[in-house]
Structure formats: C-alpha cells, structure tokens
C-alpha cells in the first residue's frame, strides 16, 4: 500500500531549493536538469510515497554525477538518505 508522507514544510522548501539549483546547473545532462526543475516546483510538506521515491532516485543520480558541484552532491546525498529514512517502515530506522 502506498501512502502519503509528511516531510515538513521547511524540509520540503530546502529540498525544493536544492532541486531548483540543480535545474539550472549547465554542467548536468539536460534530462537531469529538467527533472530537477520539475520536482522543485512540486515539492510539498506532504507527498505521495511514490513521488518521494522518485525524488530520492533523482537526488542519488546527482550524488553520483561528478559534473554537479561538490556542495550540491553532498546536499543531494544527505536529503536522499533523509527521505529514504522517512519512507522506512516504523521500527526499521537505524538509530
């Protein structure tokens, strides 16, 4: 069963800002820029779990792309891990 996850308004805004920054990174492939720009506009404090998973995959793709600036890669790695942890079933998160 797929549900809706609450990630919080401030976290959603921060992730949206990161995605917006990635959306204008000329060094990144055009499809990655376009996807980042799109998801920057739809980030919300509550999102469908499938949409969160898509954002996680996008952030992980950025993490592994050395054309992205180091600071954005680190932020993408952090937020991918954070969102992935939010999707973990209760009681399975690592302390």
pLDDT tens string 21-78:
999 999 999 999 999 999 999 999 999 999 999 999 999 999 999 999 999 999 999 9
Q: Are 45 and 7 in contact, with CB atoms under 8 Å apart? A: yes
Of 50, 64, 14, 56, residue with least CA distance to 35: 56
Helix (H) / strand (E) containing 47? strand 46-48
Is 0.85 surpassed by the pTM of this model?
yes
Cα separation, 65 vs 42, in Å, equals 23
The pLDDT tens digits for 55-71 are 999 999 999 999 999 99
Of the pLDDT bands very low, low, confident and very high (cuts 50, 70, 90), residue 1 is very low
Tokens 């506009």, located at residue: 41
């Amino acid at each position: 069963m797929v549900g809706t996850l609450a990630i919080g308004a401030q976290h959603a805004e921060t992730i949206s800002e990161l995605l917006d920054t990635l959306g204008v990174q000329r060094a990144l492939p055009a499809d990655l820029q376009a996807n980042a720009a799109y998801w920057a506009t739809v980030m919300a404090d509550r999102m469908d779990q499938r949409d969160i998973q898509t954002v996680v995959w996008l952030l992980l793709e950025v993490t592994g792309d050395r054309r992205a600036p180091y600071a954005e890669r680190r932020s993408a790695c952090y937020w991918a891990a954070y969102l992935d942890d939010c999707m973990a079933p209760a009681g399975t998160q690592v302390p």
